[in-house]
Amino acid sequence: MGYADCCGRFHVGRAVAPTAEALMRSRYSAYVLDQLDYLLATWHASTRPALLMPNEPGLRWLGLSVKAHTQQDESHAKVAFVARSKLAGRAHRLQEVSRFVREDGRWFYLDGAIT
């Protein structure tokens, strides 16, 4: 599936992510593409930071692996993932379990626990 069919349609507002996992994938793509407005718009208002900083120069995102998607009820879900990146020749790995909440038909990132 290409960018336009996967995450691009969410980024430009043509559609909303139908699941927490789809939102997670679209947020990863937004981090890769430095789409800070999308990241803030999909972050729940109760935990959203005032601003986000762009990627550090030279940062390369290498991939996302979704390990689990757990739908707790119709409005709450968790997504466990590993995101890999490289900066200044050093590999980095972010492993997190993220919590999502759905309000008015839209999923929002709530918070995450580094594992």
- Domains in the chain (CATH in brackets) are 3-114 (3.10.450.50)
pTM score over 0.85: yes
Residue 4 has what pLDDT? 82
pLDDT of residue 8: 93
Give the mean model confidence (pLDDT) for residues 94-115: 97
DSSP symbol at 40: H
Answer yes or no: is pLDDT of 1 > 80.
Answer: no
Average pLDDT, rounded, for the chain: 96
Question: For 25-63, what is each residue's pLDDT tens digit?
Answer: 999 999 999 999 999 999 999 999 999 999 999 999 999
**Whole-number pLDDT of residue 25:** 96
Q: What are phi and psi of 61, to 5 degrees?
A: -85, 135
Report the length, in residues, of the chain.
115
Residue 2: predicted pLDDT:
83
> What is the pLDDT at residue 3?
86
**85: which 2 tokens?**
């990146």
Cβ neighbour number for residue 40 with a 10 Å cutoff: 15
Helix (H) or strand (E) holding 25: helix 20-32
d(CA 36, CA 54): 7
User: Count of CB atoms within 10 A of residue 5's CB?
Assistant: 8
Per-residue model confidence as pLDDT tens digits over 78-91: 999 999 999 999 99
b/e per residue 61-81 (b: at least 16 CB within 10 A): beebeeeebeeeeeeebbbbb
Choice between 17 and 5, residue whose per-residue pLDDT is larger? 17
Quick one: which H or E segment has residue 23? helix 20-32
